[in-house]
A and B are shown apart, each in its own frame.
Chain A
Amino acid sequence: MTEYNGYVTDETIEGAEDGPLAGRTVAVKDNISTEGVRTTCGSAMLDDYVPPYDATVVERLKDAGATIPGKTNMDEFGMGTTTETSAFGPVENPVAEGRVPGGSSGGSAAVVAAGDADLALGSDTGGSIRCPAAFCGVVGIKPTYGLVSRYGLVAYANSLEQIGPIAPSVEAAAELLDVIAGPDEHDATTQEAPEADGSYAGAADGDVDGLSIGVPTELLDGADEDVVETFWDAMADLEAQGASYHEVHLPSVEHAVEAYYVIAMSEASSNLARFDGVRYGQSGGYEGNWNESFADAREEGFGEEVKRRVLLGTYALSAGYHDKYYKKAQDARAWVKQDFDEALENADVLASPTMPVPPMKRGESLDDPLTMYLADANTTPVNLANLPAISVPAGETDDGLPVGLQLVGPAFGEREIIRAGSALA
């Protein structure tokens, strides 16, 4: 275990002797299934759940020779922006004392930032790889939807989430992406990336000469002053290396965070219905009929944030409210997609601060879920549009807090964002 609570389970899984990741450790977020090693999703509900199979990404890690040093702590079922909602206690930020590491892959980013793992896997439903990468001063990639198999990832909101790498450098993150990317017969939503020329790691050549960057003004409005200043310093750095930037407008993103939460909560209410204490999950052995016993087990096994989202999702899908919330959210999703496509016709990549704020103080956001949800304004649009994005360290605020810069690319444009990001980290 670590003093900042980065691991839920520190059981070592050895990979093959040879391979591109031989000799390296890759920590795995605890919502990714590992055969024979418990996988809790940060929830008391799955306290003693031991998957009988490996997730496809875990199989690929083992085949590539990686050693998995343990399963990393996370917001329960991936629901959070701070990694404070785990049933196994909050994670502290190893590079900013008293602050949160970001969420929900906070344990994965923390173990990489602290040097307790060479690399890590996280999952990103609305920013859960990029946010902790930004808050811990490391690199995180949210791949294009369909590039990385979700087989064996315990589902939270499956139309939005992707597994992706967290690493100290862009090149190392790209090397890990090379190992996990690609079609999987167990996940019909995966597909071959078009124009799959060369490795992702090979794209990390730092060459941004002639790169055209669009900056969506909406994603700077309302962001913390220190964060915006650090962002522009990093942009000046890219400009000095031969890139150019121009402002772009994405009016749809003003509604993205609300649309994201309606869709994610709706999918969560459906996905988490399986935790009934009969096939798996805590049963509690309650008396009464199925529904009563089920409701008792879920009251006890789920934490507050999970219950909040399951209930709001049930509400958004219920008779009378479906058109008002869920259907409107799907319209917003289509609008966001169109906006990004148009902006990316006149730019190679789009850039913004990853998070509008520096890492929050621990405990600060727990009492006010809405404020925490709104902090995801810059990351959630990317998931709605199914696009790839990377968070790279942009520098620090005057108080020494890490700031991340997000680069968004066109679908399957991982090489573009890796190339651009590698000019900074």
Chain B
Amino acid sequence: MSDPAVDPEEVRHVADLARVDLADDEIERFTGQFVDILDAFEALDDVPETDRDAELSNVMRPDEVRESLSQEEALQNASDTEAGQFKGPKVS
């Protein structure tokens, strides 16, 4: 893997993946900062491969109906609802 060449296009692409519509001046500022920060992350190249802790176990509970939020409570923080459902913008 070559060194990360962070340019404004790449920051714009990542912002697009992360669904954050950055302003032009933010793109410019982030590009410079990302060069420094990712450069610092390069130190991880020196980390030896290490065995991970294998003492993990799944925690299961019985699949039973339990008390939960009411529909009204679940919807109370939505800016737009209709007929007991969240209302959002068009998907595409």
Contact = CB atoms under 8 A, between A and B. Distances in A.
Q: Is the pairing of A and B real?
A: yes
A332 B30 CA distance: 26
A307 B26 contact: yes
Interface residues of A, number: 67
Instruction: Classify chain B's interface size.
Output: 35 or more
A311 B74 CA distance: 29
A311 B87 CA distance: 27
B30 A283 contact: no
A290 B47 contact: no
A298 B52 CA distance: 36
B65 interface: no
B33 A258 contact: no
B91 A314 contact: no
A258 B41 CA distance: 5
Given A52-B76, A331-B48, A338-B50, A318 B17 contact: yes
B23 A334 contact: no
A185 B47 CA distance: 37
B27 to A, nearest CB: 10
B74 A286 contact: no
Contacts of A262: 41, 44
Nearest to A386: B53
Contacts of A236: none
B32 to A, nearest CB: 11
Given A255-B47, A283-B80, A337 B53 contact: yes
Interface in A188-226: 188-189
Contacts of B33: 308, 369-370
A314 B17 contact: yes
A299 B23 contact: yes
Report which residue of A188, A280, A282 has the largest number of chain B beta carbons within 10 angstroms of its beta carbon.
Answer: A280
Given A52-B74, A261-B41, A328-B47, A290 B89 contact: yes
A279 B86 contact: yes
A335 B50 CA distance: 6
Contacts of B61: 185, 188
B80 A289 contact: no
B18 A311 contact: yes
Contacts of A325: 41, 44
Nearest to B37: A370
A245 interface: no
Contacts of A252: 47
Contact of A52 (B44, B69, B88): B69
Given A255-B44, A278-B78, A289 B91 contact: yes
Given A52-B69, A255-B44, A324-B1, A289 B90 contact: yes
Interface string A286-311: 11111111111011001010011011
B17 A289 contact: no
Contact of A307 (B22, B38, B41, B86): B22
B19 A294 contact: yes
A320 interface: yes
Given A308-B33, A330-B52, A370-B33, A269 B73 contact: no
Given A283-B80, A289-B89, A304 B26 contact: yes
Given A290-B91, A308-B33, A296 B78 contact: no
B50 A283 contact: no
Nearest to B52: A334
A321 B42 CA distance: 11
Contacts of A335: 47-48, 50
11 contacts: A50-B77, A258-B43, A278-B80, A279-B78, A288-B89, A289-B92, A290-B91, A293-B88, A299-B21, A308-B33, A311-B30
Which 7 pairs between the two chains have the least Cβ-Cβ distance? Answer: A52-B73, A295-B21, A280-B77, A328-B44, A278-B88, A293-B89, A334-B50
Given A52-B77, A276-B19, A320-B1, 18 more contacts: A252-B47, A255-B44, A278-B79, A278-B86, A278-B88, A280-B77, A286-B89, A287-B89, A288-B89, A298-B19, A307-B26, A318-B14, A328-B44, A328-B47, A330-B52, A331-B49, A334-B50, A335-B50
